[in-house]
């Protein structure tokens, strides 16, 4: 059992990512609204996301690399493609905010993104690493999966339950004045 559970560690990390990215849009939107700046709140929220990226994506791996005594060699190919990946990730995150600013709701925007991203990934991988036998060798279930992903994203977006009613604010307690009368 030890080998099998060790081989499934990737799944735990994948599910961690699903949970984090699944909450990303909703939390980002909450942060944007919490900035209380209709004009620039989304950009302020994205700036703070950048601070978080600095902490998680720079400080943490730097500490691990120092701890493990890594060599500091960065071959050009690895550097180039890692930088491109980082730009794509940041542009994608910025696109989420721009979609919110264009009146997209977190549930709809994120449903479209998470239904579409695996399709884009699969098509890119096929183009970069074509299967033996070309496109004709691809099983029809693959294309059905693409249709189901698109349909799933549409259905989740269209039939998402509406949000509940906002709770009324709690009554504010009135302070007593020094002479015992309630303040007005």
Domain ranges of the chain: 1-70+78-104, 105-161
pLDDT tens-place string over residues 63-100: 999 999 999 899 999 999 999 999 999 999 899 988 98
E strand or H helix at 80: helix 76-101
Collapsed DSSP state (helix, strand, coil) of residue 129: coil
Which residues, including other chains, have CB under 8 Å from residue 35's CB and lie 6 or more apart?
A: 41, 42, 44, 45
Region 97-109: mean pLDDT is: 86
Instruction: Supply angle C-alpha 123, 126, 127, rounded to 5.
Output: 90
Q: How far apart are CA 89 and CA 111, in angstroms?
A: 17
Give the residue ranges of DSSP H helices in 129-182.
140-158
- Determine if the pTM surpasses 0.85: no
pLDDT tens-place string over residues 131-163: 998 888 999 999 999 899 888 888 887 888 877
Q: Residue 7 pLDDT more than 70?
A: yes
Q: Residue 105 pLDDT more than 70?
A: yes
* pLDDT at res. 140: 92
Region 22-46: mean pLDDT is: 90
Instruction: Supply angle C-alpha 100, 95, 147, rounded to 5.
Output: 90
* pLDDT at res. 10: 86
Taking a C-beta distance cutoff of 8 angstroms, is the pair 119, 150 a contact? yes
């Amino acid at each position: 059992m030890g080998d099998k559970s060790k081989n499934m560690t990737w799944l735990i990390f994948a599910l961690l990512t699903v949970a984090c990215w699944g909450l990303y849009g909703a939390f980002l939107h909450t942060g944007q609204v919490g900035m209380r700046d209709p004009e620039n709140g989304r950009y302020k929220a994205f700036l703070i996301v950048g601070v978080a990226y600095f902490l998680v994506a720079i400080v943490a791996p730097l500490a691990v690399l120092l701890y493990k005594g890594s060599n500091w060699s960065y071959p050009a190919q690895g550097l180039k493609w890692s930088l491109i990946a980082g730009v794509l990730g940041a542009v994608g995150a910025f696109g989420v905010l721009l979609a919110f600013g264009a009146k997209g709701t977190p549930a709809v925007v994120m449903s479209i993104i998470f239904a579409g991203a695996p399709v884009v990934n699969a098509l890119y991988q096929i183009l970069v690493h074509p299967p033996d036998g070309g496109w004709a060798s691809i099983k029809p279930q693959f294309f059905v999966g693409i249709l189901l992903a698109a349909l799933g994203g549409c259905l989740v977006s269209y039939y998402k339950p509406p949000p509940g009613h906002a709770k009324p604010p709690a009554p504010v307690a009135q302070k007593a004045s020094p002479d015992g009368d309630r303040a007005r």
